[in-house]
Each structure stands twice: as C-alpha cells, then as structure tokens.
Structure 1
Amino acid sequence: MRINGRDYTRRQLAERAGDLAAVGGVRAVVLDDGTERGIRALEFRTGGGLRFEVLVDRAMDIGVVEFDDLTVGWRSSTGFRHPGLHEHHDESGLSWLRSLSGFIVTGGLDHTLFGDTVDAADYHYPPKTSVRHGLHGRIANIPARLTGYGEQWTGDRCVLWAEGEVRQAAVFGEHLVLRRRIEADLGGTEIRLHDTVVNAGFERTPHMFLYHINVGWPLLDEGARVEADVERTAWTSDSVREQGVSHEVMPAPVPHFVEQVYEHVLRPAQDGRNRVRVVNDALGRSLEVDFGQEEFPHFFEWLNLRSGGYAVGLEPSTHAVAGDAAARRDGTMTWLEHGDERAYRTVFRFRRAQPPA
C-alpha cells in the first residue's frame, strides 16, 4: 500500500497505528438534519486522497466524492433527500429532479429515461392494465438492506468494501433485486462498482439500467474537457442546435442554460470497454469512467451548465434515448425470466496529472 508517497506493509501500518482509521477505512454514519435526516451512509476514506459516501438508504448510490480535498461528485440544491419524502408521480413524473444530487444516481430497474405508461399484461393481473413510470424509474429512492461492510486484508493489500441488496417489488408487479458491491483499495484512488440485477419474481419482467454519473465544481469548471472516443453522435436535444455550447470544452456557468443532451456512439477499446474522462488541466486532476460496451451499449452526455446547477453527467445506459415504449416496439427491450440476471462492472479512476520531466 502506498500512503503519503511511501509504501507500507500491513505490519508496518500496525506498528504505526493501533487503529486503521488513522489511515482510512469505512465508517457507518447517519445524516441528521434537514431533508437528509435519517439517511444511513457509509464513509469511505482510502488514505490515498479519495473520500466518498455510500448512501445506504438511497439504493447505495454514491453521494459525496472528494479527491485531494476537491469536490468531484455534484452537490445540487436538493441535497441528499430522504426517500421517505419522495412522491413518485408528483409533477407529471418529474419529481425525481427533487432528489437528483450526488456522484451516482441509479436509473432502473424496469424503466429509465423519461416517464411513460406501458402495458402490464405480463403481470397477469386484470385490474392492472398498465404501469406508469416517472423519470428514470424507482430504484434511486429505495433503501438498501445493508449486508456487510468493512476492511478485508489479503496479504499486504487491504480492500475497503460494502455490500447491499435493493429490492424493487410490487404485488402483481415486478420483483427485481439489485445486489451491489462497492470497493476501494486502502491507499488507492479508484472506486469499483459491481452490480447484479436478478428477476426474483416469476413473471417475465422488463429491465432497463442506467448510471447518472454527475461531476460538479471545482473539477467541472471553465476549460474542463470531456474526453471520449466518439464514433458518431446518434441524437441531440433541440437545445444543442439552439444554444450551440460545446460538449467537449466546458464554459463557465451560463444563466438560464437549457440542458443539452447527446447520445454518443462510442468506439470501445480492444478489451471491449469504454473510457470516458472529465479532465481539468488547471487543477491537474481528472476522472475516468470505465464501463463495458456489452453491458452498456448506449452512452449519454448531459450538460446542465445553468448558474446554480452547474454539472456534467456521464450516463452509460442499457437502452437508447427513445425510451421504454420504443424499446418494446423495436424489440430491444431486455426481458428477464425468473432467475435471469445481468451483471455490470464499472470502475471510477481519480487521477493526478503527471509532473513535467
């Protein structure tokens, strides 16, 4: 392990600190004020400059992320709102925007993208002819059952970890389970996210999945760049043509900015994985998101450069921007039978610029 520029063995760390928390670790806390009150969280500190919080009661999504004391994860005005305050169908399905904050907000498990009303015949319950979905589905506002967390040693390597299970279920409806494991190495500068979604029910069930990965100030700032190997851009929102703001080099905050959204077709590396980066040369820091092309064949870039809401979103997705009903019509919807599962492996790397030779 490399701590403060020096390599240590497990024994050497133990000689210097009776409690590993002097270096890093995982600590359980409860947020206790305002709309966040009552949310269980796990605070990770790697000792390598990386600190982040796993919001157990918000699907084990990642809220705060700081690297070398610089905020990376977007902190919106909503805060990390307690899921008990959420009203799924409020504001014509846009109430999800009242809890959109943090580094990762998960979309799914049976619906992503804009709200829709779709057929419910597969649930075989005559009074339920359709299902109404809000923006990006329900999963982000469901508390997890925390199954474990801590520090795991293998020789001189220590892995900080947490595991939980998020169940999205309804009588005469879907029964999907998200099993989530989050890891970071002691002394390290990356987060590994391992997700598995399984159909625990006995009805054929649709599955859609998306990560809303949100980068905020100061990593996002005027001159910061979004780097990706884009083969072509398949779709853009009308605001792209109307405003014409670059999706590659970011401006300073723009008053009254209207979100710009892009669906990019990425060119994966030889290992079948995509790597998208946000780079701030002035700070000498960057974030890289590493995800599999087969797991997430679609990718959206979300620019919310409005004053007071300044963020850029990187969104690996299982489905195209046209959404739920379109995926059912064109045959691209993912259907899970009982016991079927899908696995997703994603890595977030936080980097410092190499000093000049």
Structure 2
Amino acid sequence: MRLYGKEWTRRELEARVGRIEQIAGIRRFMGTEGKEAGVEQIQVRTGAGLSYYVTPTKGLDISLAEFHGVPISWQSCNGDAHPMYYEPEGNGWLRTASGGLLMTCGLMQVGSSCEDQGERLGLHGRMHHTPASQVSAESSWNEDEMEMRIAGCVEETSIFGGRLRLTRQIRSRLGENSLLIQDEVRNTGFERCPHMILYHFNFGFPLLSEETTINFHSASVQAREQGTPTDGYRAWHAPDKDYQERVYYHHTSSKPLVQIDNPNFPLHSGGTHVRVSLQWSANTLPNLVQWKMPGAGTHVLGIEPANCYVEGRSAERERGSLVFLEPGETVNYEIRLNLA
C-alpha cells in the first residue's frame, strides 16, 4: 500500500507500531450526556487524512467527517441527538436531524410532510432516526492491503403496512482518502411497497468558503420554486442571515459526478487545493437535488442523489414517478466519496 509518500508492506508497517490503530483503524464510542447520551459512533481513520464517524444509532449515517483534522462536513445545531427525541409528525425531523456528512432520507417517504392515501407522513421519513441492527465493524488484511468495513441493517416496518430492509456497508482502505457506501433495499413483505430514498450529503465550513466552486457536470438545472434564479448555484458565499434556502434539480449524465473545489483549504501546513468528489450510479439514483443554504448559523451545501424529488410522496404519486418494490424485490445503490 502507499502511505506517507512511500510503498509499504504489511509487515514493514507492523514493525514500526505497537498496534496498527496507531496509524489507522476503527474505534467505537458512546455518547454520555445531553441528547447525545446513548448514541453510538464508530470512528474510521484511513491514515491518509480522512476520518469519519458512522452512527449505528441513527441508521448507520455518517456524522462528522474531517480531512487532516479539519472538518469537511456540516453539523446541525441539534448535535447527534438520540432518536428517542424524534418527532415524526410534520417538520419535527428538523429538531433532531444531525447534519454530518450523510443523513439518509426514506425509506418510504422523502421531502415535504404530506398525506398520501390517508397516511400522514413527516418530513424526510424515518430512516435517519432508526437504529441499525446486526452492526459489525472490522478491519481486515488481504496481503498488504487493509480494509475497514462497517455493516448493518435498518428496517422500516408496520403491521398491515410496508416492510423494507436496508443492508448497508461502508468501506475504506488504509492509505486512501475515500469511502464507498453500498446499500441494498429489499421488500421483505408480501405486498407492493412504495420506496423513496435520498442521500443527503452535507458539506460545510471551511471546505465551503467564498473561494469554493461546485461543478455538477449537469446537462441542465432548474429551481424547485418558480422565480428562484438559477445563476450562482456553482458559487459559494459568506454567511448571510437573510438568505433564503434554494433548492435546485439537476439533470445529470449517465455517470453523475459532483466536485467541490477549495483552492485554499486551511491545513495546518498552510492553504492547499482540496477537491471532494461524489459519484454514484444513475441507474438507481437518477435524480440530483442541490440544497444551497449559505445562511448564518445554517451554512451548508446539500448534495443529494435520489430516486425521487423532495415534494413528498403524495406529489411523487400524482406525478406518476413514485418507485415501488414488488414482494421480495431488491434494489442496489452505490456511492463513492473521494478527497484529493
């Protein structure tokens, strides 16, 4: 493997440390106070600069992410609030949403709260506030390469309702600044079930500065609300307390790619160019939502690959674009994040 500018064998590294976790690896933690009490987190360090915290208590989503100790993700004012405080009605999701690198929205509802065929649905669904089960966290060697893998299942079920199970794996390798998310969603029930999913990636200061540019490689873009200007969606701004959030829908290519470039990312050795890239498959995630919110205190860019839009399930059904899974049917998602 390549690390610290050199090629190493496993045994060469092991000769230089007492434990490989000195360089990279996995550690598990538990919150002990306030609304974070009882929230488990699993820290992954790749040894090349990337570090992130997976949260089994909140759907195996990813909280804080850092590059050489400097944050790239946005954390909400709620912190990593325990799901016991979750209010599923209306916009209650906003009281306990953690932010972090990734909040998964779904599995049967995404977007605005609504009523769909007599069922009242809250903002962005239940996935982000559902604890995972069968959680494993392991580092394993294959010859001279070490992989760190977090895995588990998240289920959304209801008696006389839908039954969906998400099986997630998050993988990184020693010496690499990347992570791979691999999800499988299966309809474990015996009736056709609506399925909506949106990967709510959240980027923040200091990755986002007035110098930052965002390249979407999109074929076209439109604002969700009529009258919202479509210029300026590639640029970032200083915090503005009066800024009103903007949501854009991007029509992407068959190989979607978003790149966030900061030419002066503040590492301890001085400013340097950093690029964060996000890639996924358009076969199962054909839509890209952009949430632009350079407000004061809520200073965040959302990059959100999805199989739907964000007006809620009733609007998706009316549009004829609501995705369904047949009994026993599965669908697979794969998203890769790279830093360079």
TM-score normalised by L of structure 2 = 0.94
| Aligned residue number for residue 95 of structure 2 | 98
Residue in structure 2 matching 1:296, options 281, 285, 292? 285
1:205–1:51 Cα change, 3 Å:
same
1:253 paired to 2:226 = no
Distance 2:104 2:304 in 1: 10
| Aligned residue number for residue 168 of structure 1 | 156
1:114 paired to 2:112 = yes
- Contact 2:110 2:309 survives alignment (8 Å): no
Amino acid in the other structure paired with 2:289: F
For structure 2, list consecutive stretches of 5 or more residues without a partner in the other structure.
Answer: 266-272
1:256–1:170 Cα change, 3 Å:
same
- Contact 2:280 2:334 survives alignment (8 Å): yes
Distance 1:86 1:19 in 2: 39
| Aligned residue number for residue 122 of structure 2 | 134
Amino acid in the other structure paired with 2:297: G
| Aligned residue number for residue 268 of structure 2 | none
- Contact 2:140 2:148 survives alignment (8 Å): yes
Query: After the TM superposition, which residues 20-169 of structure 1 pair with which residues of structure 2 at under 5 Å, given as runs?
Result: 20-89=20-89, 93-100=90-97, 101-119=99-117, 130-169=118-157
Distance 2:241 2:228 in 1: 16
Shift of 1:78: 1.1
* Range with greater deviation from structure 2 (105-114 or 312-321): 312-321
Residue in structure 2 matching 1:262, options 232, 245, 248? 248
**Secondary structure of 1:114's partner?**
coil
Shift of 1:322: 4.2
Instruction: Name the count of aligned residue pairs.
Output: 332
| Aligned residue number for residue 223 of structure 2 | 235
Residue in structure 2 matching 1:193, options 175, 181, 203? 181
Distance 1:238 1:141 in 2: 32
Superposed CA offset, 1:184-240 (max 9, x none): 001110010001111111121100110110001000111211111121113333573
Shift of 1:306: 0.7
Distance 2:231 2:221 in 1: 15
Distance 1:245 1:42 in 2: 39
Distance 1:147 1:39 in 2: 14
Task: Report runs of 4+ in structure 1 exceeding 6 Å deviation.
Answer: none
Distance 1:329 1:170 in 2: 24
| Aligned residue number for residue 286 of structure 1 | 275
Amino acid in the other structure paired with 1:276: V
Distance 1:55 1:276 in 2: 25
Shift of 1:28: 1.1
**Secondary structure of 1:299's partner?**
strand
For structure 1, list consecutive stretches of 5 or more residues without a partner in the other structure.
Answer: 120-129, 352-357
Amino acid in the other structure paired with 1:118: D
**Secondary structure of 1:277's partner?**
strand
Amino acid in the other structure paired with 2:92: S
| Aligned residue number for residue 317 of structure 2 | 328
Distance 1:9 1:18 in 2: 16
| Aligned residue number for residue 348 of structure 1 | 337
Amino acid in the other structure paired with 1:63: S
* Range with greater deviation from structure 2 (60-69 or 3-12): 3-12
Superposed CA offset, 1:139-187 (max 9, x none): 1100001431111111111100010001111111111111000000011
**Secondary structure of 1:325's partner?**
helix
- Contact 1:233 1:265 survives alignment (8 Å): yes
Distance 2:41 2:149 in 1: 13
Query: After the TM superposition, which residues 302-317 of structure 1 pair with which residues of structure 2 at under 5 Å, given as runs?
Result: 302-317=291-306
| Aligned residue number for residue 184 of structure 1 | 172
Shift of 1:245: 7.0
TM-score normalised by L of structure 1 = 0.90
Amino acid in the other structure paired with 2:286: P
**Secondary structure of 2:57's partner?**
coil
Shift of 1:347: 0.1
- Contact 1:56 1:146 survives alignment (8 Å): no
Distance 1:21 1:185 in 2: 13
Distance 2:241 2:250 in 1: 26
Distance 1:171 1:266 in 2: 38
1:34–1:341 Cα change, 3 Å:
same
